[in-house]
Amino acid sequence: MLAMAPKYALKTRLYVAIQGVIGDDTRTTGSADFKGFIAALLEIGFETVGGAIEVGVTLQPPLGMHGAEVDLFVAWPADKDGWWAYEYTAVASMLCDNYNIKAADFIEIPDDVNMEGIGFAIPAKNE
């Protein structure tokens, strides 16, 4: 189980994408901070096992996480302005289905938090 102490690292709309997947909404749009997203996954215990940030990254989940036998490949955004809707929903689906990471695990940060644009907190990895 992930601890719920937040880390302010995930500057993406992945939270919205996960909610969309849960609600069968594949129309999620918006830009994403790809490097920030990868950093956020590393913060909760994923490890890089292959790839390059400019192409796509293969991540291994922490031991004990639901579906931990499945590596996660996150492709570099196809569009210079960020992920397309299908990329959001594909990653959100993988996080929900393979790793039991749900929208409830991501906590929205108020706009007055010192971040660029909308940000989301992620649970801290177990110590």
Where do the domains of the chain lie? 6-123
Q: Do residues 81 and 22 lie in contact, with contact meaning Cβ atoms separated by under 8 Å?
A: no
Is the pTM above the cut of 0.75? Answer: no
The Cα 6–Cα 71 span in angstroms is 24
pLDDT tens for the chain, 127 residues: list them.
444 334 333 334 454 445 444 444 444 444 445 666 676 677 667 888 888 766 788 888 877 776 667 888 887 766 655 555 556 567 767 877 887 776 555 545 444 544 444 444 444 444 3
Q: What one-character DSSP code corresponds to residue 95?
A: H
